[in-house]
Every structure is written in structure tokens, then in C-alpha cells.
Amino acid sequence: MFTGLIEEVGTLTHSRSINGGKRLLVSAQKILDGTRVDDSIAVNGVCLTVTELTDGGFWVDAVGETLNKTTIKNWRLGEKVNLERALRLSDRLGGHLVQGHVNAVGRTTRLEKMGENYWWEVEVPQTLVKYVIAEGSIALDGISLTVARLNGNRVGLSIIPHTYRHTALRFHQVGAMVNIEVDVIARYVERLLQFDNKNGGTGGLSEDWLKRMGF
């Protein structure tokens, strides 16, 4: 589990093919402190397991569904990636609960400076739109962000200078692909509603009830 608050921007320095996937070496410094083999690190929002540590980085493996559902298959040497160590129970939850389980890949359609901030628009798959609401949370390339605007399947976000400077977003370009993880709470609510409806709605959880409770 993660918070979506990026600790460091790393660099992909080596990549080689393995059976059914890729083995990746990411250079980093700050997040190596206290990190051990078998720890989880979110790399551009993808939860990966550290398989080996080096003096200036760490190795991870990405296989199967991880490659199919994320941008990893498109990464090139020199790629800048957002890094975050797994959340400890004693940590403050400054962002929102991020699992590191990417739901789909989207595409940046707009990224420009607007006053002191930056405006970022990402086109998300239609299947995910139902989980996105204005002022709700979304993780893009592992960054916890608040949705400022939703226009069809385009998500608009206002990015403060600190976030822009301290994440890989500063290297981002229009047309680039983005890892998307929607708020897991929205997905759980949907599942509960589906289950309740299949069982005759006896559990008391309904869309009407959620609206009355302010959801």
C-alpha cells in the first residue's frame, strides 16, 4: 500500500528480457535507505518487488499482466520514473490509499503552465470514467492527485509547482502514456452494490442510500 506522495525520481538504467517479462535496474539514492530485498516499491505507480540491491539502485522484475496493463513495456533506457516505498502503519497518509495495482493506461492530451500552476489533462479509458469524480482522488504514474474537472473521458488536474518539480511530470510530454489507478474505495462500493442487488437488496446499501449519505 502507498500514499501517492513521490519520494524520489529515479532513472531506468538497464533492461533485459526474462522469461515472460523484463528485468529492470532503476537508479536511485533516497529510497534505498532502509530498503531490503523483497520490499515493495511503486515505480510510476506500479507495485514491484525488489529482487536485488546495488550501490546506486535496485532491480525489479515485471512479468505477465503487469506488462500488459502498464506503460512498462514502452519504457526506454533513461526513462524518469516516480518512486515511493511502501507505506508503514506509523506513516501519515498525506495522499490517498494507493495499491500500486494499475487499472489501465491513459494518454496525456494537455500539459501547460497556467499562472503559477500547471494544467494536466489525461484521457482515460471509458471503462474507468465511472470511478472518477470532481474533487475525488486518482493516481497517475503513482502521483496522488485531486480531480479538478471531468469532461467526458478527459480528467483535468491542477498541479502545484512543488508536485511538478519533484516528480517525473516535469519530463512528461503531450501524447505520453500514463499509468492510471482509480480510487479503490469507489471500486469496493461498486462491488458491494452489485452483490447487494444480486441478493435482493436486503443489505440496505443502495445508490439512493449513498446519495442521502453524501457520497
CATH number at residue 163: 2.40.30.20
**Does 95 fall in a domain?**
no
**Could you tell me if 120 and 108 are in contact, meaning their C-beta atoms sit under 8 angstroms apart?**
yes
Residue 197, pLDDT > 80, answer no
Half-sphere exposure in the Cβ direction for 150 (13 Å, CA): 17
Residue 124, pLDDT > 70, answer yes
What is the average pLDDT score of the chain?
Answer: 90
Please report, rounded to a whole number, the percentage of residues in the chain having pLDDT higher than 70.
86
Confidence of residue 99 (pLDDT cuts 50, 70, 90): confident
Nearest to 57 by CA among 17, 1, 12, 103: 12
In a shared domain, residues 120 and 147: yes
**Does 47 fall in a domain?**
yes
In a shared domain, residues 124 and 74: no
The pLDDT score that the predictor gives to residue 72 is 97
- When pLDDT is averaged across residues 1-18 and rounded to a whole number, the result is 95
Task: Please tell me the total count of domains within the chain.
Answer: 2
In a shared domain, residues 37 and 64: yes
Residue 168, pLDDT > 80, answer yes
**Could you tell me if 45 and 140 are in contact, meaning their C-beta atoms sit under 8 angstroms apart?**
yes
What pairing do the DSSP bridges indicate for beta strands 143-146 and 57-63?
A: unpaired
In a shared domain, residues 111 and 172: yes
Range of the domain at 27: 8-85
